[in-house]
Structure 1
Amino acid sequence: MKRQSFIAGTSILIAASLITRLLGFVYRIALTRLIGSEGIGLFQMVFPILTLVLTIVSAGMGTAISKLVAESLVTGDRTRIRRVMRYSFFITSILAVIFTWIMLRYGKTISLHMYTDRRAYYPLITLTPVIGIIAISSVLRGYFQGLQQMSIPSVASIIETLIRIVGVWIIAALSLKKGIEYAAAGVSAGMILGELAGCLYMYYAYRRYASVNKLDLPEPPQNHSVAAINHNQGQRSPEKKDVNPSGELPAQTMLALLQLAIPVTFSRLIGSIAFALEPILVMRALLTAGLTATVSTKLYGAYSGMAIPLLVFPTVFTYSLAVQLVPSISEAVASGRRGTVARRLTQSFRITALIGFPTSLMLLQFATPLCTVIYAQPKVGHILAIMAPSGFLLYLQGPLSGILQGINRASTAMRNSLIGSAVKLLIIYLFASTPSANINAVAWSLTIAVSLTTLLHMISVHRAIGFYVDPRDTAKTLLCTILMGVSMHVLWPIYQTVMPRSIALSALLFTGLLIYIILLLITRTITANTLARLPGVGRPLSRVARLIPFSR
């Protein structure tokens, strides 16, 4: 098992995330048709509370471990890696036990006093056992990311998704006979099975291939290159002698871990608190607007369980960038390679623009057809259309946050997230209770908050390392996106007359994507040589691309 390059690691993460998102969409469509928007709404109501608890329990350890392991690989500091893993396991385990007990002891009180629908207790209490599983998974995932070995967490994600889909479908279908609240609890139970399967796979891989003893680290101080992980999978590697070239004391290692983990935790905690408060504020605001509890639950389910998943789908690409950026930039900073940091920033913006511009336009232009075909809920399209223009900024937010964490500006990312979350909740509080606005105000709150947070991240990155964007390259990407949108607008009525609506929409999206890629190649925004750098599929794609004029 050897260390992967930045492009290879990112591509593996993207491929795995794309598979899991596509599987997740199939699962969500089937689940929506099985338990309806009301059942989805019940599950989505309690999920923010779980997210809040998991943010505290994981304590930002995944990001902190990733950064510190990447730095320690440069110097061959095995002792530091061992301490990082030991301390992070200890901290997350203690927190997991505490919060699991709190949820089991006070779950009914939470559901009775925080939610307007008492049926939320069933999915809430069923989700509780997942806390410990995800806490352990976050430590293992951070370790592999620090090694820049992305294949293992990627495979774990696919396993988790497959087991969760099967488990949720079977348990929810069997539980539906007892009532919608039991079906929502079945969704929680299926999630536990999936997370457990993914965690067990990563633990097996850690013990079998990549435990700290099996890392073939460079001998300090003569060689500071990053070494590969031992390739011999059939025999147990000999114990490696612990090396502590930095002379870092245990207390200093703990401090370094906490200095990154705490700001990352608070940054995520802010988002999780806002996420947890959101359904409470929204439900109460909708009731104040004169809607019934059932209608309010359905509206929130449409917003959070249908429109939001479509909006965030492209983050499958940019989240992978963000994950890979933390160890890559941390290693570059530790090695004194400032040019690599600037190059990673430019690459991140360019990739996000190539993906974010066209997807944002598609979501805006075809919001209602998408929601009609996927969910059989055309009214959800209006909610999606409000949020779609902020798509590009939403997709850019993850990579920018990863860059800030990689250059030791995690506290700055936390501050920016706090401002954005506060603005979001304020808008919901002020406007969602207005009868003429209701759920639309919630959609606008997300659009405004995302835009503000991302702009603050851009300013922070610019002040720290500069923020260079190639205006010519960006303008060409934007032009290709506009031409794609015009083409799809012209073709949509034609497709609808010759094909059923669902097939017509699928064909239109495929055609639009093909037109966009051809335009990128013709304008040399991307070239055949660019495609050739992708692992696995790069060379075949490059050969096809060379058939298009100007693409070389």
Structure 2
Amino acid sequence: MKKTITNSLFIITFFSVLDRALGFLFKIFMSRTVGAEGVGLYQIAFSFFSVLLSTVVGGIPLVVSKFVARSQTSDNKITGSALLLALSISALLIGLFFALYYPLAYAMGKTTIILVLCMLPTLVFSSVYCSLRGYLWGREKFFAVSIVEVIEQISRIGICVAMFLMGFDKLRSIAISLSIGSLISALACFIFFFTNHGKLGASKSDFIKIAKSSFPITISNLIGSLSGSITSLVIPKLFVWSGYTLSQANAMLGASVGMAMPLVYIPITLVSSLAFVLIPKISNDLKNNNYVKINASITGAIKFATLVACCLIPFFSSCGRALCEFVYNNTQSGEYLSFIAFALIPLTVENITGSILNSLDLEMKNFINGMIGYSMLWVVAVVTIGNYSIYALGTGFALSWTLSAILNIRCIIKKTGLSLSFAPFIVKSVVLCAPTVLFSANILGVCSSLPSIFAIIICGLSSVAFFAVLSLIFGSFTFTKICVKKSRKKAKA
């Protein structure tokens, strides 16, 4: 029996949260084991390697999943062609790396270039992984796709700890564990691929089709990797030009982008899980020109993204400072988190609509919209130059996500004829956030005498519960809708 969207969403979200939690614990372990300098060296190596990895993987999993979802007979050629493309790109990049080895070693340093060398096999293993993952994704084998990621994370942590205990160099052990973890995930993907009746073949037409469709996504990922590096380099200079010392500027960047932003991106875990489920479904409906179903899925997805954001906005807005003081022992990151909390709505809507554009074969539109939105970060920087602060940085991000989300929705409307029936839901949800923020702030005040962890948990749970009650009272969502859906399922049965 075909899994329902709800069941699939639960599976993906559960394993995604587990994977991220394991990754977070591994980062804490790594930072305490190799120290700040070691983490810095590893970050330099990984930043360079992530550009190579983005070039290899790019949009291949997404593109393969779409084509497999629409195909009934040529799955083997689609997957095999994607594998051939990814392996070709990885071979080219590895060749270029060795050709430029000495200039790169001079620029990056001996320690860093050796770390990149230890990571390099990951390109080959990821070529296999991304192609087979795309097939499993397109066939809606969500459990297989999700469990493979957890297997990779557990394998990497286990191998790294084992190498530490055996006395190997710690930084090299971390880099090597990345490659071995990727190998294990590729082998796991092979097992799931063949047990789900997958076969490998290739054709010139599929090779060209996949390359053409994945190109804009690859470029977008590359620019995303590069823009992150540019932001890390330029933002501190803007702070310095505004009168802060270099030490203060780096601390402000760390507090905002390094500490607060990972918390800001928490709702993306849920929203991305929904996008993961919807992309094959929308791609299949697009093949059948079923725009009624497509628009229903899109409307529901945008509402879901808004709801997820609004569940966290009051908590971050009122408890941001307390949360960051507890997690990071840093108040400035908490001030930034509270300031940017309401930007969660454009962030989640931008994320889900971007994924929808990709499923509608509008990858280039998504890329262009993202670049136009990203420009707002620098427009704000220019306007506030000489008076730049973490609040100007937060405003830039908020305007960037908002503009990209609006442009994405505009493109979807042109493609599918989508109505703006979700707009009242967004407005109502934003309005209901205001009293919830006040309620959460009062709860935090009442719990101020408790240990921080208990005060934060009580505030968070109370905030979500209060928003849910208001939503039920004012009709943002109702139990009636849930009961109707259940009764329909029983009637069909």
- Shared fold (TM-score, shorter chain, > 0.5): yes
* Matching residue of 2:456: 505
Question: Using a 3 Å threshold, how does the CA distance of structure 1 residues 427 and 123 change in structure 2: closer, same or farther?
Answer: farther
Separation (CA, whole Å) in 1 of partners of 2:29 and 2:454: 18
Q: How many Å apart are 1:404 and its aligned residue?
A: 1.3
* Matching residue of 2:218: 265
* Matching residue of 2:413: 462
TM-score by length of 1: 0.76
What amino acid is aligned across from residue 331 of structure 2 in structure 1? Answer: P
Q: How many Å apart are 1:529 and its aligned residue?
A: 6.3
Pairs within 5 Å for 1:223-234? none
**Cα displacement string for residues 221-277 of structure 1 (whole angstroms, at most 9, x for unaligned residues):** xxxxxxxxxxxxxxxxxxxxx9xxxxxx94433343233212222232332332243
Pairs within 5 Å for 1:245-264? 250-264=203-217
1:392 aligns with one of 345, 350, 354? 345
Separation (CA, whole Å) in 2 of partners of 1:378 and 1:145: 41
* Matching residue of 2:195: 208
Separation (CA, whole Å) in 1 of partners of 2:426 and 2:401: 21
1:95 aligns with one of 80, 86, 89? 89
Separation (CA, whole Å) in 1 of partners of 2:96 and 2:250: 26
Please tell me whether residue 489 in structure 1 is matched to residue 424 in structure 2.
Answer: no
What amino acid is aligned across from residue 204 of structure 1 in structure 2? Answer: I
Separation (CA, whole Å) in 2 of partners of 1:266 and 1:164: 28
Question: Using a 3 Å threshold, how does the CA distance of structure 1 residues 366 and 490 change in structure 2: closer, same or farther?
Answer: same
1:82 aligns with one of 48, 66, 76? 76
What amino acid is aligned across from residue 445 of structure 2 in structure 1? Answer: P
Pairs within 5 Å for 1:115-264? 121=113, 123-167=115-159, 183=171, 187-212=174-199, 250-264=203-217
Question: Using a 3 Å threshold, how does the CA distance of structure 1 residues 290 and 365 change in structure 2: closer, same or farther?
Answer: same
Q: Secondary structure at the match of 1:91?
A: helix
Are 2:302 and 2:422, in contact at CA under 8 Å, matched by a contact in 1?
no
* Matching residue of 2:302: 349
* Matching residue of 2:404: 453
Are 1:285 and 1:432, in contact at CA under 8 Å, matched by a contact in 2?
no
Q: How many Å apart are 1:293 and its aligned residue?
A: 7.5
Separation (CA, whole Å) in 2 of partners of 1:304 and 1:46: 19
Separation (CA, whole Å) in 1 of partners of 2:238 and 2:160: 31
Please tell me whether residue 18 in structure 1 is matched to residue 17 in structure 2.
Answer: yes
Q: How many Å apart are 1:337 and its aligned residue?
A: 1.2
What amino acid is aligned across from residue 420 of structure 1 in structure 2? Answer: G
Question: Using a 3 Å threshold, how does the CA distance of structure 1 residues 171 and 485 change in structure 2: closer, same or farther?
Answer: farther
Q: Secondary structure at the match of 2:337?
A: helix
Are 2:50 and 2:225, in contact at CA under 8 Å, matched by a contact in 1?
yes
Question: Using a 3 Å threshold, how does the CA distance of structure 1 residues 441 and 515 change in structure 2: closer, same or farther?
Answer: closer
* Matching residue of 1:228: none
Are 2:239 and 2:388, in contact at CA under 8 Å, matched by a contact in 1?
no
Q: How many Å apart are 1:152 and its aligned residue?
A: 0.5
Higher helix share: 2
Separation (CA, whole Å) in 2 of partners of 1:432 and 1:105: 43
What amino acid is aligned across from residue 348 of structure 2 in structure 1? Answer: Y
Q: How many Å apart are 1:346 and its aligned residue?
A: 0.7
Q: Taking every aligned residue pair, what percent have the same amino acid on both sides?
A: 18
Separation (CA, whole Å) in 2 of partners of 1:439 and 1:169: 37
Separation (CA, whole Å) in 2 of partners of 1:357 and 1:515: 11
Separation (CA, whole Å) in 2 of partners of 1:193 and 1:297: 34
Separation (CA, whole Å) in 2 of partners of 1:81 and 1:449: 38
**Cα displacement string for residues 266-318 of structure 1 (whole angstroms, at most 9, x for unaligned residues):** 23233233224333434666677788877766654444442221111110111
Separation (CA, whole Å) in 1 of partners of 2:378 and 2:49: 19
Question: Using a 3 Å threshold, how does the CA distance of structure 1 residues 361 and 97 change in structure 2: closer, same or farther?
Answer: farther
Q: Secondary structure at the match of 2:448?
A: helix
Separation (CA, whole Å) in 2 of partners of 1:317 and 1:515: 20
**Cα displacement string for residues 16-55 of structure 1 (whole angstroms, at most 9, x for unaligned residues):** 2222233334444555555566655554444443332222
Moved more, 395-404 or 375-384: 375-384
Are 2:316 and 2:338, in contact at CA under 8 Å, matched by a contact in 1?
yes
* Matching residue of 2:318: 365
Question: Using a 3 Å threshold, how does the CA distance of structure 1 residues 440 and 6 change in structure 2: closer, same or farther?
Answer: same
Q: How many Å apart are 1:99 and its aligned residue?
A: 1.8
Q: How many Å apart are 1:153 and its aligned residue?
A: 0.7
Q: Secondary structure at the match of 1:310?
A: helix
Are 2:314 and 2:436, in contact at CA under 8 Å, matched by a contact in 1?
no
Q: How many Å apart are 1:491 and its aligned residue?
A: 0.8
Are 2:159 and 2:177, in contact at CA under 8 Å, matched by a contact in 1?
yes
Are 2:319 and 2:441, in contact at CA under 8 Å, matched by a contact in 1?
no
Moved more, 190-199 or 63-72: 190-199
Q: Secondary structure at the match of 1:54?
A: helix
Q: How many Å apart are 1:495 and its aligned residue?
A: 0.9
Q: How many Å apart are 1:423 and its aligned residue?
A: 4.1
* Matching residue of 1:377: 330
Separation (CA, whole Å) in 1 of partners of 2:139 and 2:372: 33
Separation (CA, whole Å) in 2 of partners of 1:5 and 1:130: 34
* Matching residue of 1:514: 465
* Matching residue of 1:401: 354
Separation (CA, whole Å) in 2 of partners of 1:426 and 1:529: 46
Paired positions, count: 486
Are 1:306 and 1:380, in contact at CA under 8 Å, matched by a contact in 2?
yes
Are 1:111 and 1:121, in contact at CA under 8 Å, matched by a contact in 2?
yes
Separation (CA, whole Å) in 1 of partners of 2:257 and 2:271: 20
Q: Secondary structure at the match of 1:496?
A: coil
Please tell me whether residue 274 in structure 1 is matched to residue 227 in structure 2.
Answer: yes
> How large is the RMSD of aligned CA atoms in angstroms?
3.7
Are 2:312 and 2:464, in contact at CA under 8 Å, matched by a contact in 1?
no
Are 1:171 and 1:189, in contact at CA under 8 Å, matched by a contact in 2?
no
What amino acid is aligned across from residue 382 of structure 1 in structure 2? Answer: E
Question: Using a 3 Å threshold, how does the CA distance of structure 1 residues 423 and 525 change in structure 2: closer, same or farther?
Answer: closer
Pairs within 5 Å for 1:534-545? none
What amino acid is aligned across from residue 192 of structure 2 in structure 1? Answer: A
Question: Using a 3 Å threshold, how does the CA distance of structure 1 residues 158 and 521 change in structure 2: closer, same or farther?
Answer: farther
Question: Using a 3 Å threshold, how does the CA distance of structure 1 residues 378 and 189 change in structure 2: closer, same or farther?
Answer: farther
Separation (CA, whole Å) in 2 of partners of 1:371 and 1:4: 38
What amino acid is aligned across from residue 278 of structure 1 in structure 2? Answer: T
What amino acid is aligned across from residue 392 of structure 1 in structure 2? Answer: I
What amino acid is aligned across from residue 333 of structure 1 in structure 2? Answer: L
What amino acid is aligned across from residue 92 of structure 1 in structure 2? Answer: A
Are 1:156 and 1:201, in contact at CA under 8 Å, matched by a contact in 2?
yes
Are 1:360 and 1:389, in contact at CA under 8 Å, matched by a contact in 2?
yes
* Matching residue of 2:490: none
What amino acid is aligned across from residue 379 of structure 1 in structure 2? Answer: Q
**Cα displacement string for residues 375-406 of structure 1 (whole angstroms, at most 9, x for unaligned residues):** 22233223434443322211122221122122
